[in-house]
């Protein structure tokens, strides 16, 4: 494929040096490279709706019944094709749909009863509010953001793929932000420039009020970074470092603005209105931290939380304790040595004088200076010369008493040590004079071109919203580049900021975004199915104070969201992909929801939130699992280790992404291995057994009551007549525990459990 090193250098690192090139990335780069010398004009941004300003949209007039303006936009497109919305789904379907959408878990029996028993006109609205207020909401929607931001708990370098032990603090920050409905513009501003917002300086204090914003900056550390393990020649190491910078820019633009920019690394982008100079201007935003010539390895980019005076006091106390421990240990050693010599003489007394002298002389020599005859002599008398501390204590009772006193003293001093300060992995500037950045000719790291200034994209800039770095205060270390970029990104003048996030949220509710290429709203992406609706929602999003929860309320209140999934004659001909949404799309649960729901139904789900990840391991057969005796093994999937090269096999089978760059949209599949895992895996069998035990515990011996409870827990409804008959026939008269386990496993593998209508 590559005819020269120069062509190879255009691409992200391949298996040759430890980085993965996704198929989409390779295709895009190849296509762009093939057009690099073409004489066509650069793309015209104004020709594409994504680059036009977000404007107020006229609400369409429609014939059908519409609850909200969202419905009117959808109905306008449907009525143009002589279609209408489908009828409203029943209440049991709606609560299960909303529960999974907002929390990723099935509704509890109490939640179902509360909703079905509420006859007030606003019962549906109140049900939505209960789920939005649940701490499980942030776990569900935080995971969507983490995938889009390229989050992982490992660095992603060959098989080393070392841990990122503090990345979980960023994960917890994201979950908290969604739960508190932090305004989206503030959420993004903190992630881009939290250190600048709180006035961080390397020589200053890190107070509790600063921790949240500093933790947020881990967003800029999400890209793969194997520079802690990189041990090649200087050129390879340099490439590894540049790869981190390039990956960070890619994450930044994909996640926040839904644009592909990596092709502009080698030349002006041939699909998007992005010049090569603009691409390196984006790199310059991060260059003060990710400068390959002034590099800090990942584990060196940690901050200790606390004031400088407090941290210094901790260090002084630790040093004092170290000196005290060293002193008592030295005293014990000074007493032990003559006793050791005496004991050695006693053990060697049977030897003749010359041999005894030779052994003692060999022992006194440093190990690396002993001659071969000396080594052989010591080997011959190894049993006699090997004297441990325990041997001394047995031979000399007075030494044993003294040693015990010293050990108690050391233990007491160790107890008085101050706790180690907490640390966070942040993205902060520490260089008061960052080096200039340069365009790289043809993207080659060894061929710098002209100097480039930090900046943003002209296509998305307006007279009211231009990238401009504020004047820095005297003594400030930070450049202010990222604060300037954050102001530019989150401006209502930026045409993509609101559109991208609205599209992501729409996708998670309906399975496909208004623009189906969620990470690419640019000229090489898909055209929106309802462009006016996208702008309407983007404008409402900004007007709401950037409230994500308010956007949920707007979408979930619509008739289009509350439709049935039932197919109608002729729809598959007019709209085979259901892009017009004449019915609600039937969707299988995603990987995390399947695992979490199985634990929820079996009564085993560990609801603890936050904290370090639960580690996974690779079994002898090559599968990756969480041992059931591991602490936290039954926590939600969000809290399991997200290792790039070691994705939990059960989750991977159901299309959970192994994060290489970012994942704004998963590719759902239906393959035999999924069914085989539900029928044969140890995880599925264990959940079925626990589920059967729960039924026996909560419903007693009555078969009908057990079956009713089983269906309500798995499907959100009582069993239908034919289901009841088939289950009763399967169980037979014996009502054996093994039969109930088998039945429960079938329910957990059924479409009624795995799909949301």
Of 16-20, 346-350, 667-671, 685-689, give the lowest mean pLDDT range. Answer: 16-20
Over residues 483-511, the mean pLDDT reads 97
Mean pLDDT value across residues 267-274 = 91
Rounded CA separation 245/480 (Å): 18
Write out the DSSP string of 467-514. --PPPPPTT--S-SHHHHHHHHHHSTT-TTHHHHHHHHHHHHHHSS-S
Judged against a pLDDT cut of 90, whether residue 515 lies above it is answered with: yes
Structure tokens at 687: 């959940």
Q: Calculate the alpha carbon distances from 135 to 139, 181, 219, 634 in Å.
A: 7, 11, 22, 17
Q: Does 613 fall in a domain?
A: no
* 703 assigned to some structural domain: yes
d(CA 757, CA 754): 10
**Residues 506 and 555 sit within 8 Å (Cβ to Cβ):** yes
The token pair at 14 is: 């391949």
Confidence grade of residue 299 (pLDDT, cut at 50, 70, 90): confident
Which tokens is 504 given?
């992501």
**Cβ of 204: how many Cβ atoms within 10 Å?**
13
Residue with tokens 């949240």: 212
Reduce the secondary structure of 524-569 to three states and give it as a string: CCCCCCCHHHHHHHHHHHHHCCCCHHHHHHHHHCCCCCCECCCCCC
For residue 359, being part of any structural domain is answered with yes
The half-sphere exposure of 239 on its side-chain side, counting CA atoms within 13 A, is 20
Note the pLDDT of residue 41: 57
Instruction: Tell me which residue has tokens 């280790």.
Output: 641
Please say if the pLDDT value at position 26 is more than 50.
Answer: no
Indicate the angle between helix axes 737-748 and 703-715, nearest 10 degrees: 20
**Three-state SS for 464?**
coil
Residue reference for tokens 């995971």: 143
Task: Give the whole-angstrom CA distance, residue 235 versus residue 601.
Answer: 54
- Tens of pLDDT, residue by residue over 701-748, are 999 999 999 999 999 999 999 999 999 999 988 889 999 999 999 999
**What are the start-end ranges of the H helices in 35-90?**
69-79
pLDDT given at position 57: 95
Phi, psi of 688 (to 5 degrees): -65, -40
CA torsion through residues 129, 133, 136, 139, sign: positive
Cα 132 from Cα 135, distance rounded (Å): 8
Residue 44 — pLDDT band, cuts 50, 70, 90?
low
Q: Evaluate if residue 11 carries a pLDDT over 80.
A: no
CA 313 to chain centre: 36
Burial of 642 (0-12, 13-18, 19+ CB in 10 A): buried
At 440, which helix (H) or strand (E)?
A: strand 437-440
Residue 19 pLDDT > 80, yes or no?
no
Contact 524, 46 (CB under 8 A): no
User: Of 401, 420, 439, which residue constitutes the final position of a domain?
Assistant: 420
CA torsion, ordered 510, 515, 520, 523, to nearest 10 deg: 170
Q: Are strands 587-588 and 617-618 parallel, antiparallel or unpaired?
A: unpaired
The DSSP result for 334-397, as a single string, is HHHHHHHHHHHHHHTTTS-HHHHHHHHHHHHS-GGG--HHHHHHHHHTHHHH---HHHHHHH-H
Above 90 in pLDDT, residue 407?
Answer: yes
Total domains in the fold of the chain: 2
Torsions phi, psi for 229 (to 5 deg)? -110, -10
DSSP output for 735-752: --HHHHHHHHHHHHTSHH
- Rounded CA-CA distance 461/409 in Å is 67
Please report whether residue 228 resides in a domain.
Answer: no
Q: Could you tell me if 189 and 216 are in contact, meaning their C-beta atoms sit under 8 angstroms apart?
A: no
Instruction: List the structure tokens of 74.
Output: 């959808």
Q: What would the mean pLDDT of 1-14 be, rounded to a whole number?
A: 33
pLDDT(25) > 90: no
Residues 193, 208: Cα–Cα separation, whole Å? 17
Identify the band that residue 661 occupies on the pLDDT scale cut at 50, 70 and 90: confident
The string of pLDDT tens digits covering residues 312-348 is 999 999 999 999 999 999 999 999 999 988 998 888 8
Last-in-domain residue among 369, 387, 420: 420
| Residue 454 DSSP class | -
Task: Give residue-wise pLDDT tens across range 354-387.
Answer: 888 998 888 889 988 999 999 899 888 988 889 8
Inter-residue contact 167 to 531 (CB < 8 Å): no
Range of the domain at 382: 308-420
pLDDT in tens, 567-599: 999 899 999 999 999 999 999 999 999 999 999
Residue 12 has pLDDT above 80, yes or no: no
d(CA 218, CA 643): 17
Tell whether 8 is covered by a domain.
no
Closest CA to 253 of 210, 207, 220, 294: 220
List, for residues 112-142, the tens digit of each pLDDT value: 999 999 999 999 999 999 999 999 999 999 9
| Max CA pair span of the chain | 115
How far, in Å, CA of 391 to CA of 714, rounded? Answer: 64
Q: What is the pLDDT of residue 734?
A: 82
C-alpha Rg value of the chain to the nearest Å: 32
Q: How far apart are CA 49 and CA 40, in angstroms?
A: 21
Looking at residue 675, its pLDDT comes to: 94
In a domain, 401, yes or no: yes
Name the band, by pLDDT with cuts 50, 70 and 90, for residue 47: low
Confidence (pLDDT) at 398: 93
Phi, psi of 79, deg, nearest 5: -65, -25
DSSP conformational letter for 68: S
User: What percent of the chain has pLDDT above 90?
Assistant: 80
Domain boundary among the residues 420, 437, 466 is at 420
Between CA 28 and CA 265 the distance in angstroms is 12
Give the mean pLDDT of 531-553.
Answer: 97
Q: How far apart are CA 114 and CA 126, in angstroms?
A: 10
486 assigned to some structural domain: no
CA dist., res. 567 & res. 580, Å (int): 13
| 3-state SS, residue 625 | strand
Q: Closest Cα partner for 225 from 83, 25, 427, 87?
A: 427
3-state helix, strand, coil in the chain (%, to 5): 55, 5, 45
- Average pLDDT of the segment spanning 297-320: 92
- Give the DSSP letter of residue 441: G
Question: Count of H helices and E strands in the chain?
Answer: 31, 8
Mean pLDDT of 389-397: 91
DSSP string spanning 255-318?
HHH----GGGGTSS-SSSS--HHHHHHHHHHHTTTS-TTS---GGGSEEE-B-HHHHHHHHHHH
Q: What is the DSSP letter of 163?
A: B
How would you class 61 by CB atoms within 10 Å of its CB: exposed for 0-12, middle for 13-18, buried for 19 or more? exposed
- Is residue 213 a part of any domain in this protein? no
User: Does pLDDT of 189 surpass 80?
Assistant: yes
Question: Is the model's pLDDT at 16 over the cut of 60?
Answer: no
């Amino acid at each position: 494929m590559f005819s020269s090193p120069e062509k190879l250098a255009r691409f992200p690192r391949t298996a040759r040096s430890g980085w993965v090139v996704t198929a989409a990335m390779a295709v895009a780069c190849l296509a762009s490279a093939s057009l690099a010398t073409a004489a066509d004009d650069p793309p015209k941004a104004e020709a594409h709706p994504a680059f036009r300003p977000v404007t107020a949209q006229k609400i369409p007039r429609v014939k059908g019944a519409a609850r909200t303006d969202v419905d009117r936009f959808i109905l306008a497109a449907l009525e143009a094709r002589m279609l209408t919305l489908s009828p409203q789904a029943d209440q049991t379907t709606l609560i299960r749909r909303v529960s999974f959408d907002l929390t990723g878990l099935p509704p509890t029996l109490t939640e179902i009863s509360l909703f079905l028993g509420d006859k007030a006109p606003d019962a549906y609205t109140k049900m939505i509010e209960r789920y939005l207020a649940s701490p499980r909401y942030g776990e569900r929607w935080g995971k969507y953001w983490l995938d889009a931001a390229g989050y992982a708990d490992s660095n992603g370098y060959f098989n080393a793929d070392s841990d990122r032990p503090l990345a979980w603090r960023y994960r917890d920050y994201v979950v908290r932000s969604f739960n508190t409905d932090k305004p989206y513009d503030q959420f993004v501003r903190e992630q881009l420039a939290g250190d600048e917002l709180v006035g961080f300086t390397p020589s200053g204090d890190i107070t509790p009020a600063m921790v949240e914003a500093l933790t947020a900056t881990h967003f800029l550390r999400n890209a793969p970074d194997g520079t802690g393990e990189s041990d090649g020649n200087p050129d390879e190491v340099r490439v590894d470092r540049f790869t981190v910078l390039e990956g960070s820019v890619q994450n930044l633009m994909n996640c926040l603005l839904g644009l592909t920019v990596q092709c502009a690394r080698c030349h002006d982008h041939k699909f998007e209105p992005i010049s090569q100079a603009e691409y390196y201007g984006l790199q310059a935003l991060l260059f003060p931290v990710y400068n390959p010539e002034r590099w800090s390895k990942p584990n060196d980019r940690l901050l200790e939380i606390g004031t400088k005076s407090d941290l210094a006091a901790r260090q002084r106390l630790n040093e004092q304790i170290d000196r005290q421990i060293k002193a008592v240990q030295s005293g014990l050693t000074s007493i032990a040595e003559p006793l050791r010599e005496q004991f050695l003489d006693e053990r060697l007394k049977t030897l003749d004088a010359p041999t005894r002298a030779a052994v003692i002389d060999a022992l006194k020599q440093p190990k690396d200076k002993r001659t071969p005859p000396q080594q052989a002599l010591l080997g011959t008398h190894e049993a006699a010369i090997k004297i441990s501390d325990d041997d001394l204590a047995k031979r000399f009772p007075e030494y044993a008493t003294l040693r015990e006193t010293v050990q108690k003293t050391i233990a007491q001093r160790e107890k008085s040590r101050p706790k180690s300060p907490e640390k966070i992995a942040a993205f902060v500037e520490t260089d008061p004079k960052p080096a200039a950045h340069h365009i790289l000719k043809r993207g080659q790291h060894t061929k710098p071109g002209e100097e480039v200034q930090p900046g943003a994209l002209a296509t998305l800039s307006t007279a009211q919203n231009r990238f401009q770095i504020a004047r820095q205060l005297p003594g400030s270390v930070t450049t202010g580049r990222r604060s300037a970029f954050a102001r530019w990104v989150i401006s209502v003048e930026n045409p993509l900021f609101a559109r991208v996030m609205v599209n992501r949220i729409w996708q998670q509710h309906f399975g496909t975004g208004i623009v189906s290429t969620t990470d690419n709203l640019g000229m090489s992406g898909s055209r929106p199915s309802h462009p006016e609706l996208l702008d309407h929602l983007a404008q409402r999003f900004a007007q709401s104070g950037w409230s994500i929860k308010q956007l949920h309320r707007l979408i979930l209140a619509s008739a289009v969201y509350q439709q049935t999934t039932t197919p109608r004659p002729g729809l598959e001909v007019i709209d085979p992909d259901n892009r017009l949404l004449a019915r609600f799309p039937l969707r299988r649960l995603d990987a995390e929801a399947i695992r979490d729901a199985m634990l929820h139904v079996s009564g085993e789900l560990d609801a603890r939130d936050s904290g370090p990840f639960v580690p996974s391991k690779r079994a002898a057969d090559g599968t990756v699992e969480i041992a059931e005796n591991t602490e936290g093994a039954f926590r939600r999937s969000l809290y399991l280790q997200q290792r790039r090269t070691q994705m939990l096999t059960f989750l991977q089978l159901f299309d959970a992404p192994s994060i290489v760059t970012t994942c704004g949209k998963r590719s759902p599949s239906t393959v035999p291995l999924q069914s085989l895992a539900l029928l044969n895996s140890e995880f599925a069998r264990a959940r079925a057994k626990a589920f059967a035990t729960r039924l026996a515990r909560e419903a007693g011996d009555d078969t009908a009551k057990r079956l009713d409870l089983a269906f309500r827990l798995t499907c959100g409804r009582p069993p239908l007549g034919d289901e009841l008959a088939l289950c009763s026939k399967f169980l037979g008269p014996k009502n054996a525990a093994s039969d109930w386990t088998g039945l429960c496993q079938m329910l957990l593998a059924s479409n009624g459990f795995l799909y949301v209508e």
